[in-house]
Structure 1
């Protein structure tokens, strides 16, 4: 396989965990030096191309291309500039390289894309229509599905589109062969994750999980979520996961990004690397099904694109599109790691007095954070820190 927009190798690591020596990474393409440092440390000897725009061709023998192309212009947290944005527009180079592979007479590689769900709605569906038109022009059959990373057992509510396109297998047998349905009964009520940097329009509230880990601000300031620990001691009610906790909540080994000069605090490179990564267990699930395709567990109905959002799952070929009749965002229910299994709540950094006060101020100006006991816990946390500071 060839990993384009590779980040820290979440897709490739998951595929390797699923397929073992059946898969070999021939090359990475990644422009950001901190990410390159991680790739060099964790995938010894694999060459790294620094610029997809200057990449001439895929390595000989490539039969799988992975492309987690930048979501900066597709994410609701980004500039929503669409597929023509400066960063997301780089995906045209994926199609250029695939077209080159086809012209050279080899088998067209299978394509695996990961991106944010907002790509389905952006520009009234035009971004997704563009991607599908380019995929079909190459002769692919395709399928995609929105999945929630919690299905892999990690306590992070992270929704992502996984799209698979192939000329020699039916992608529906990979992405639609599993469905376990809702797993809310697995989530405890002792800890809740939220974003304390927000408070007017959204908290990213999650039970027994953190909301989607983010790359941080545009100037590299880390943006970890906070966790409300309901029965914690004074001063420990609101804590923040460490960068190693975040690595584990993305399915990596703890310390995966602890290479070379990368600090968890200096300009936040490790937080950004983790927040931009693909959850390892998601690609591991895809890899397991690539190794053992199944039959779709759902019926399909025809669907025609209009001037609006695309559905959360669909498949197609040669201009014909079908939508699953029923499919959840949880293909399976891997053993769940609760927040308390990952975060050491006794030693984790507490949310600072300044941070808690700023968050509390924003809460007062809106109607968010109304879960029973939460607002009182925020006020108590502030009181506890003020008391400790005074004493």
Structure 2
């Protein structure tokens, strides 16, 4: 199989596809630093910079695109699908307007796209797939269920001309996921928050992100309860928490870590893409007959759906956001390579905010944080 990757970022789709034996023949990315990483890591693959200037796609079996989420994210501007960044997904459908279409299309975005403006972004995407003759399915998948110690929920939308994408994407949907251990030793949180948000995560970090509302690097923090330590993962840790090899974003050109953080935070988690790509090539393990009990009405909260031309949309609320053989990623099993202590300034500012808030954490968290600041 061969792939074309649009909005490539630092190559999350491409690394996952390559691990499943899929070769990428075209990449499209307009960020200069991301381009330098792609050129270094994929020197023989054609790279273009602006999807709006791309006239046509080369022949390929699958098109992937993690289109910009800034207008859809809860942490972003929430301008919706009409926003200047997230609206670029329409360029994907322009490029699919061709006589010989690729068999598969795989898109990714933030899970909040299902709620923002009544799910307008997802509705636009599925309507376009219907118009182009594709069957489609989408499902929220959490990177933590794929062995990464990061709680990262993203909606993956898979479309196909001849296959049933739900048979590929819904594997493991009825699986009973493991519950995070309340007695864990390590907890992730965002020290840049503390008034109305926290990102509190048990034995995991909250979703890695490119930056905060102040446009500064935004690594999460980790509370080590037994040792009373407060640390931040380094850029190497962040790469590995997304499934990339250590040093993936290091171009040896002295690029500041804050710029690398932005790219890693916006990337697609590699193991999730590999799982989907593996299933594309083993068509198809069909367990859909066991999923009827998870169907929900159109107005109820859901985390998956399927449909297509002349097919009614069916929505589901699945108990699992990962595969049946999922390996839960845990901070307690993650060995850091370049973490550093949370600074006193950062800890003090966070403490003052969370003490005034009603946010819930572990009973020992604020007392230990207070002792950390005082010491």
Q: Classify the TM-score, shorter chain.
A: over 0.9
2:53 aligned with 1:54: yes
* Structure 2 counterpart of 1:182: 177
* Structure 1 counterpart of 2:267: 277
Distance in structure 2 (CA, Å) of the matches to 1:130 and 1:356: 42
Contact 1:152–1:332 (8 Å) recurs in 2: no
Aligned pair partner of 1:17 in 19, 26, 36 = 19
Higher mean C-alpha displacement, 164-173 vs 360-369: 360-369
* Structure 2 counterpart of 1:45: 44
Higher mean C-alpha displacement, 216-225 vs 162-171: 216-225
Secondary structure of 1:269's aligned partner: helix
Distance in structure 1 (CA, Å) of the matches to 2:362 and 2:350: 15
Distance in structure 1 (CA, Å) of the matches to 2:317 and 2:212: 39
Secondary structure of 1:58's aligned partner: coil
Contact 2:66–2:108 (8 Å) recurs in 1: yes
Gaps of 5+ in 1: 385-391
Distance in structure 2 (CA, Å) of the matches to 1:325 and 1:78: 26
2:157 aligned with 1:163: yes
Aligned pair partner of 1:290 in 272, 280, 286 = 280
Gaps of 5+ in 2: none
Secondary structure of 2:286's aligned partner: coil
* Structure 1 counterpart of 2:233: 241
Deviation at 1:43, TM superposition (A): 1.1
Secondary structure of 2:94's aligned partner: helix
Contact 1:181–1:330 (8 Å) recurs in 2: no
Contact 1:262–1:269 (8 Å) recurs in 2: no
Deviation at 1:188, TM superposition (A): 6.2
Deviation at 1:130, TM superposition (A): 1.4
Q: How does 1:378-389 map to 2 (within 5 A)?
A: 378-384=369-375
Contact 1:187–1:338 (8 Å) recurs in 2: no
Aligned pair partner of 1:316 in 307, 314, 319 = 307
Distance in structure 2 (CA, Å) of the matches to 1:124 and 1:335: 32
Higher mean C-alpha displacement, 126-135 vs 206-215: 126-135
Aligned pair partner of 2:87 in 86, 89, 102 = 89
* Structure 2 counterpart of 1:26: 25
- TM value normalised by structure 1: 0.89
Secondary structure of 2:314's aligned partner: strand
- 325 and 207 in structure 1: CA distance in 2 versus 1, 3 angstrom threshold: closer
Contact 1:203–1:369 (8 Å) recurs in 2: no
Secondary structure of 2:64's aligned partner: strand
Secondary structure of 1:157's aligned partner: coil
- 249 and 137 in structure 1: CA distance in 2 versus 1, 3 angstrom threshold: same
* Structure 2 counterpart of 1:338: 330
Contact 2:107–2:156 (8 Å) recurs in 1: yes
Contact 1:149–1:157 (8 Å) recurs in 2: yes
* Structure 2 counterpart of 1:364: 355
Distance in structure 1 (CA, Å) of the matches to 2:336 and 2:117: 42
Deviation at 1:125, TM superposition (A): 2.3
2:188 aligned with 1:193: yes
Contact 1:8–1:38 (8 Å) recurs in 2: yes
- TM value normalised by structure 2: 0.92
Aligned pair partner of 2:109 in 115, 128, 153 = 115
Deviation at 1:324, TM superposition (A): 3.4
* Structure 1 counterpart of 2:74: 76
> 1:175-205 deviations in whole A, cap 9, x for unaligned?
1122332222568601000001100111101
CA RMSD, Structure 1 to Structure 2 (Å): 2.1
Distance in structure 2 (CA, Å) of the matches to 1:291 and 1:193: 36
> 1:207-245 deviations in whole A, cap 9, x for unaligned?
111000000136752100000001116xxx111111100
> 1:52-84 deviations in whole A, cap 9, x for unaligned?
00100001x212000100001011111111111
